[in-house]
């Protein structure tokens, strides 16, 4: 999950039309019995905007959504019932609320389902606020619920989520919100860990291959002087860093992996190496590239 910028004032036509207004009023009357109209919240204009804003990716797991397959429009706050509270009618009034609609893959949509944990049940909101400006996910009213699921348009997921060197997602600073989000969306399901691990392994292999080639040249005395050594490092590792820079581009699938690899370069790629010469080369790489690529980890 990464931060996504959505303009809450640029509401797609399908959610402001007369038809949409009719369905909002209907929801307000029917409350827990309201069956949301997918033709309204999945209107072409909504899907088109979500695809653009989320760059054809799932807002929770960052999987690429097929160009031809339809995306799932997930309700951040579930529209019909809440798993944690049997007596909750569901956030029926937010069924057609732009800030409550998230681009999602089928699996995350299904995992989240009716789950919507909050920090303290006494703060949970049970009915529509009269002031509709408070329906926005970033409103004071809805924020006061203190949801325990990260909202990709409001929270900054990178402050909460990290990956270990095997691609398993972890919470930062013991964040409960991050831990619960990982559980609720199933962000450590086997298929996701596997694909994140594959990205990390590919980059690690490339870095090691480059480092081994340099170690060989040093051993065979083809590289002798320090300036020469640094130049060779810069030249040969540039392609590997270009690859890492590409992986962190938000357009890429699972771009959080790319960000974590750069931020935690030391733990991902140096700390696990036992060969002293290779470690030294990777340390030199770290020093050389750290400034320009904002690598962290020290």
What interhelical angle do 226-247 and 276-293 show, nearest 10? 60
Total of chain residues touching Zn ion, rule CB under 5 A: 6
Q: Give the binding range for Zn ion (CB under 5 A) out of 105-113, 166-174, 218-226, 239-247.
A: 105-113
Q: What is the largest CA-CA distance in the chain?
A: 81
Give the number of other Cβ atoms within 10 Å of residue 152's Cβ. 22
| 287's tokens | 């020093």
> CA 119, CA 71: separation in Å to the nearest integer?
30
Q: 159 vs 94, 136, 152, 173, 261, CA distance in Å? A: 27, 22, 12, 9, 15
CB closer to Zn ion, 153 vs 240: 153
Work out whether 105 is an interface residue with Zn ion (CB under 5 A). yes
By CB under 5 A, which span of 51-59, 64-72, 150-158, 239-247 interacts with Zn ion? 51-59
Q: Give the nearer residue to Zn ion in terms of CB position, either 105 or 244.
A: 105
Binding mask 61-100 for Zn ion (x = CB under 5 A): x-x-------------------------------------
Burial 24-49 (b: 16+ CB within 10 A, else e): beebeeeeeebebbeebbbbeebbeb
With respect to Zn ion, which residue has the nearer C-beta, 20 or 108?
108
Residue 58 touching Zn ion (CB under 5 A): yes
CA 220 to chain centre: 45
First to last CA, the chain: 24
- Residue 105 or 256: the one with the smaller Cβ distance to Zn ion is 105
Instruction: Kindly state whether residue 54 participates in binding Zn ion, applying the rule CB under 5 A.
Output: no
Taking residues 4 to 43 in sequence order and writing x for each that binds Zn ion by CB under 5 A, - otherwise, the string is: ----------------------------------------
Position among 4, 71, 108, 163 found at the interface with Zn ion (CB under 5 A): 108
Q: Is 284 in the site for Zn ion (CB under 5 A)?
A: no
Burial of 249 (C-beta count, 10 Å sphere; 0-12/13-18/19+): exposed
Task: Name which position in 23, 41, 54, 60 contacts Zn ion (CB under 5 A).
Answer: 60
Count of positions (residues) in the chain: 298
**Footprint of Zn ion (CB under 5 A):** 58, 60-61, 63, 105, 108
């Amino acid at each position: 999950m990464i931060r996504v910028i959505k303009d809450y004032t640029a509401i797609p036509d399908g959610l402001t039309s007369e038809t949409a207004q009719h369905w909002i009023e209907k929801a307000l009357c029917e409350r827990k019995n309201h069956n949301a109209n997918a033709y309204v919240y999945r209107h072409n204009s909504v899907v088109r905007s979500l695809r653009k804003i989320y760059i054809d990716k799932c807002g929770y797991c960052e999987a690429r959504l097929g160009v031809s397959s339809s995306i799932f429009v997930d309700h951040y706050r579930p529209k019909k019932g809440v798993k944690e509270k049997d007596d909750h009618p569901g956030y029926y009034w937010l069924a057609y609320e732009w800030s409550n609609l998230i681009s999602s893959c089928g699996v995350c949509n299904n995992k989240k389902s009716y789950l919507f944990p909050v920090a303290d049940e006494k703060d949970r909101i049970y009915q529509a606020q009269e002031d509709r400006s408070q329906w926005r996910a970033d409103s004071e009213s809805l924020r006061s619920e203190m949801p325990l699921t990260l909202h990709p348009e409001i929270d900054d997921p990178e402050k909460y989520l990290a990956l270990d060197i095997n691609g398993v997602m972890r919470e930062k600073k013991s964040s409960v919100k991050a831990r619960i989000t990982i559980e609720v969306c199933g962000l450590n399901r086997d298929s996701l860990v596997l694909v994140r691990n594959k990205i990390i392994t590919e980059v690690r292999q490339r870095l090691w291959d480059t480092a081994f080639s340099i170690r060989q040249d040093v051993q065979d005395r083809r590289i002798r002087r320090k300036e020469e050594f640094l130049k060779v490092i810069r030249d040969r590792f540039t392609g590997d860093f270009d690859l890492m820079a590409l992986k962190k581009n938000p357009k890429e699938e699972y771009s959080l992996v790319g960000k974590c690899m750069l931020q935690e370069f030391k733990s991902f790629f140096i700390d696990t190496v036992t060969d002293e010469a290779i470690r030294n080369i990777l340390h030199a790489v770290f020093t050389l590239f750290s400034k320009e690529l904002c690598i962290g980890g020290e």
